[in-house]
Amino acid sequence: MKSILFTSILLLLIGCGSDRDQYQQEQTEEQTLRSAFEGSFLIGTILNHRQIFGQDQRGQDLAVREFNAVTAENVMKWENIHPEPGVYDFDAADTMIDIAEENGMFVVGHTLVWHSQTPDWVFYDDEGELLSREALLERMKDHIETVVGRYKGRVHGWDVVNEAIVDDGTMRDTYWYRIIGEDFLVKAFEYAHAVDPEAELYYNDYSLEIPSKREGAIRLVEYLQENDAPITGIGTQGHFMLDFPDLEEIEKTITDFAALGIDVMVTELDIDVLPPAFDYMGADVSASAEMREELNPYPDALPDSVQQQLTDRYRDIFEIYLRHSDDITRVTFWGVTDGDSWKNNWPVSGRTNYPLIFDRNWEPKPAYHAIIELAEEHR
């Protein structure tokens, strides 16, 4: 499905191409990810607080050189941008968007409605009682109107609802669902679209490669479509491991969602190289485990053999992405370098992980060169 941005500009008949095409045309003279994947899909990353404000200037410089799409890691989540009733802190988000605009980057707002990293006050009244359906809808509407309204025309796509289902494909029991009901998703999309009709609007979730969860997400998208919710795309997060999920399930996730007539994005890509702390394979930020020596086997450096496994895994996954580049509009890495990654502290705090394609010295890893080579072969 063509994006809202693309469709709206086509209505002009002649003139500029879509906003996405505009960002894909931005190149540097040297080979970069953004130039290598031009014509395939946007290639993105996230910016954290230190990178946004220049404490990690090398990380910021690397991000704007290599990528043409950017998502805020945390600074646009409810607890940071709207920490108290009537109090908004836009400083970090404003700065990030300024950086993006200066460097021709497609901007994704993450995230409007989520059960996690949302303050408790959102769901309670002044007497400490849970809000009514009508009151919580009004609170949601006010938040969306304020945040989306501030960035209308500057944020090009929004993760409207994040992680609303669990692994068996049923709805997650959150305050949003418990108080409002399943149509909280419909309302969230309606509110966002009313404020900025040109913005792309996404549902975003992890572990959609698990068949039961993927089937639940398909039902969810169909429910939204049947209720005329203006969903334009789905983000499958891509928090993978060296041996999970199977490549066939990664590919089926793309094709199954593309068949629904919506854009498909990989929104939070990383590959965990460490031993699993437990059997759970998802990305629930509330999950945790105690540190044990065997769970942190590479505290100083990644062995060459594991580095090769990581390279092979990225190459295999990007072969799939490039094969389906007509359906995929964006692939975003969840971090600039290994040192930035949340995987160093989840689900075990203090580990040394190596899940990305730039190392702790801001240098490209073999996986970087492998996917660049693939992209060039594909063009």
Q: Where along the chain do its domains lie?
A: 22-378
Q: With beta carbons less than 8 A apart as the criterion, state whether 213 and 168 touch.
A: yes
* Whether pLDDT at 29 is above 60: no
Nearest to 64 by CA among 27, 36, 21: 27
Overall average pLDDT of the 312-334 stretch? 98
Overall average pLDDT of the 73-94 stretch? 98
- The percent of the chain in helix, strand and coil, each rounded to the nearest 5, is 40, 15, 40
pLDDT of res. 278:
66
Q: How many CA atoms lie within 13 Å of 1's alpha carbon, on the beta-carbon side?
A: 20
Which residues is 110 bridged to in the sheet?
Answer: 159
* Whether pLDDT at 144 is above 80: yes
Nearest to 109 by CA among 192, 166, 174: 192
Neighbours of 231 (CB within 10 A): 25
pLDDT in tens, 284-304: 656 656 757 788 999 999 999
SS3 124: strand
Q: With beta carbons less than 8 A apart as the criterion, state whether 175 and 120 touch.
A: no
Overall average pLDDT of the 139-145 stretch? 98
Q: With beta carbons less than 8 A apart as the criterion, state whether 81 and 88 touch.
A: yes
pLDDT of res. 12:
37
pLDDT in tens, 43-71: 999 999 999 999 999 999 999 999 999 99
Q: Confidence class of residue 352 from pLDDT cuts 50, 70 and 90?
A: very high
Overall average pLDDT of the 160-177 stretch? 98
Sign of torsion over alpha carbons 212, 214, 218, 220: positive
SS3 121: helix
Give the tokens for residue 92: 């970090």
Overall average pLDDT of the 196-214 stretch? 98
pLDDT of res. 2:
42
Sign of torsion over alpha carbons 116, 122, 125, 126: positive
Q: With beta carbons less than 8 A apart as the criterion, state whether 108 and 157 touch.
A: yes
pLDDT in tens, 108-132: 999 999 999 999 999 999 999 999 9
Q: What is the radius of gyration, based on Cα positions, of the chain?
A: 20
Q: Confidence class of residue 345 from pLDDT cuts 50, 70 and 90?
A: confident
Q: With beta carbons less than 8 A apart as the criterion, state whether 106 and 42 touch.
A: yes
How far is residue 335's CA from residue 351's CA, in Å, rounded to a whole number? 16
* Whether pLDDT at 279 is above 70: no
pLDDT of res. 276:
85
* Whether pLDDT at 174 is above 50: yes
Nearest to 265 by CA among 202, 336, 218: 202
Percent of the chain with pLDDT over 90: 84
Q: With beta carbons less than 8 A apart as the criterion, state whether 220 and 185 touch.
A: yes
Catalytic residues: 163, 268
Any idea which fold 22-378 has? TIM Barrel (3.20.20)
Give the tokens for residue 227: 């209720």
Instruction: Tell me the pairing of strands 328-333 and 69-72.
Output: unpaired
pLDDT of res. 348:
86
Q: Which residue has the tokens 């398909």?
A: 218
* Whether pLDDT at 273 is above 50: yes
How far is residue 278's CA from residue 281's CA, in Å, rounded to a whole number? 8
Contacts of 341 (CB under 8 A, 6+ apart): 270, 334, 335, 353, 355, 356
Overall average pLDDT of the 202-226 stretch? 98
Q: Which residue has the tokens 């709206």?
A: 8
**Helix ranges (DSSP H) in the chain:** 4-10, 19-25, 33-36, 49-52, 57-66, 78-81, 91-102, 133-150, 175, 184-195, 211-226, 247-258, 304-323, 366-378
Q: With beta carbons less than 8 A apart as the criterion, state whether 219 and 185 touch.
A: no
Q: Confidence class of residue 8 from pLDDT cuts 50, 70 and 90?
A: very low
Percent of the chain with pLDDT over 70: 88
